Amino acid sequence: MSAHLLDVVGLERHFDGLKAVDGISFSVAPGEVVSIIGPNGSGKTTTLNLVTGTIPAHGGTITLDGVRIDHADTARIAEQGVARTFQNGRVFATLSVADNIDVGLHSTLHASRPFRRLSGVFLLRWIPLLAELFIAVVGTPASRREQRRIEEVVETEIHRFEARLRPRRDDPAYSLSYANRRRTEIARALALQPKLLVLDEPTAGMNQTETAEVLSQLLELKAEGQTILLVEHKLDLVLTVSDRVIVMDGGRIIAQGSPEHVRRDPAVVEAYLGRRRGLGGEPE
Ligand SMILES: Nc1ncnc2c1ncn2[C@@H]1O[C@H](COP(=O)(O)OP(=O)(O)OP(=O)(O)O)[C@@H](O)[C@H]1O
Ligand SMILES: [Mg+2]
């Protein structure tokens, strides 16, 4: 088995004639924070979409912890230990903060959702439905234990964003500030205790204070040993938090290495930084 948690080899994805991801290879070791940077449209989100199974690949392989996941669907990949957030943020607007965090955990239920594998079998799918209804109404010791565990995990995640999310715990997501919605989404991903946390521009639309808060939370997660694959435009944050940086342009990797290495790479300055006004620039 590989020493890497994530191994991507020759990954490809095109949209009609456009090669959005053009044969890229990279890996992420356990406990590493790896960031992907690059200009708008360089293929960063597409790469994350491929790793998380949001869209299928047209070529290449993706291996997580020794298991091939490049033909698995999102639910299966989540079960394998990959959780993500989205570039534009995705929360359930009418659910409370706590329920938004809790909702991700339902995919991990076993005692409350027996026979769940049968739900994909047309003639037998009423069996899991009836079993779940019975357990929801009557409950079993195992399902009650599972429920308590879920409540504990939700509390842990609310505690992580204590000052911001605790006061809003029971408020519907639509009433939250943009930054709090993004925090709720990160909390939901973390509640799954993923082997690999995938974040697509977690600070997009945040002001400096909010961005600094996310940075310190990322550093805490890193100190806890969380493996992270991050896409982010704010280069100061990327250079501070990352063990390694991958630079994409036109669907290809044009450079990768330590933050110091990447910062000095002439191809990076040319393709990425040169289009803005130096390090720390925002996307156009
Ligand atoms: N579903 C889609 N259908 C058609 N083209 C797409 C689709 N998704 C992405 N693309 C194209 O693929 C290329 C890469 O897009 P991608 O979203 O991966 O870029 P990105 O690096 O995340 O950019 P940004 O920094 O703006 O978020 C772009 O040219 C984009 O227009
Ligand atoms: Mg993107």
pTM: 0.87
pLDDT of amino acid 283: 43
Report d(CA 37, CA 254) in Å as an integer: 10
Pocket of ligand 1, beta carbon within 6 A: 15, 18, 20, 38, 40-46, 87, 283
Measured from the Cα of 49, ligand 1's closest atom is 18
pLDDT of amino acid 278: 43
* H or E element at residue 145: helix 141-160
pLDDT of amino acid 107: 67
Q: Ligand 2 centroid to 157 CA: how many Å?
A: 26
pLDDT tens by residue, the chain, 284 residues: 568 999 999 999 999 999 999 999 999 999 999 999 999 999 999 999 999 999 999 999 999 999 999 999 999 999 999 999 999 889 999 999 999 999 878 766 666 666 666 667 777 777 777 777 777 777 777 778 888 889 999 999 999 999 999 999 999 999 999 999 999 999 999 999 999 999 999 999 899 999 999 999 999 999 999 999 999 999 999 999 999 999 999 999 999 999 999 988 888 887 765 555 444 444 44
Could you tell me the two tokens for 236? 């100061």
Asked if residues 226 and 197 have their Cβ atoms less than 8 Å apart, the reply is: yes
Asked if residues 170 and 100 have their Cβ atoms less than 8 Å apart, the reply is: no
* Phi, psi angle pair for 234, to nearest 5°: -80, 105
Could you tell me the two tokens for 258? 């330590």
Report d(CA 45, CA 214) in Å as an integer: 20
Nearest CA to ligand 1 atom 19: 41
pLDDT of amino acid 29: 98
Give the strand order in the sheet containing 67-68.
18-28, 6-15, 59-64, 67-68
Q: Ligand 2 centroid to 4 CA: how many Å?
A: 25
Torsion sign across C-alpha atoms 231, 237, 238, 242: negative
Asked if residues 283 and 275 have their Cβ atoms less than 8 Å apart, the reply is: no
pLDDT of amino acid 147: 85
Measured from the Cα of 43, ligand 1's closest atom is 18
Neighbour-count burial of 16, counting CB atoms closer than 10 A to its CB (0-12 exposed, 13-18 middle, 19+ buried): exposed
Neighbour-count burial of 71, counting CB atoms closer than 10 A to its CB (0-12 exposed, 13-18 middle, 19+ buried): exposed
Q: Tell me, what amino acid is at 58?
A: H
Measured from the Cα of 233, ligand 1's closest atom is 25
Report d(CA 203, CA 271) in Å as an integer: 23
pLDDT of amino acid 63: 97
Asked if residues 8 and 27 have their Cβ atoms less than 8 Å apart, the reply is: yes
pLDDT of amino acid 18: 97
